[in-house]
Homo-oligomer: A and B are copies of this chain.
Amino acid sequence: MPQSSGSKALTITSLVVRLLTLIFLLASLIVIATDSATMKIDFTEVKIRLKNVYSYRYMVSVAVIGLAYTFLQIPFAVHYACTGKRLGAHDGLLKFEFFGDKVISYLLATGVGAAFGATFDLKKNLEIRSKLDDFFNLAYVSAGLLLLGFLCSGVSSIISSLALSK
């Protein structure tokens, strides 16, 4: 199948979920990058940032990887939406999209889990948590955006699975 064609609605959905993934991941990164809290411990000001929480570092890593991959897929999604045909002189590109979508959406899913899991339990268990409430609340916003990005990426994955079957 050198070129598979899809219905108009599917081609548009395909592009829209890619763009939404891009937007959500970017927003998630901006929120977590600007998230910080300052505390006074023994007369010293201590700044808590994303680098202090390893789950947030992981979250940023997967969001950046997801962003790069989705950015790469945009031109193909645009071509698909405009012409109704997938670029792919041979099967290679469809297979790259099929496996790429799977890997990226799984990575994002683990990132979502790590961000929510760590935030929830750190917030519950750190004794100084009252001072860190805003920090963790903003982390929730970022994790929520990553979740939306992951869901869009999951839809892309389902579409590319179906595309392989056409």
Contacts and interface: CB of A to CB of B under 8 A. Distances in A.
A53 interface: yes
A69 to B, nearest CB: 16
Interface stretch (A24-32, A39-47, A79-87, A111-119): A111-119
A117 B58 contact: yes
Q: How many copies does the complex hold?
A: 2
A77 B158 CA distance: 22
A121 B53 contact: yes
A61 interface: no
A157 interface: yes
A47 to B, nearest CB: 16
A114 B55 CA distance: 9
Interface of A: 53-55, 58, 98-99, 102, 105-106, 109-118, 120-122, 124-127, 150, 154, 157-158, 161-162, 164-166
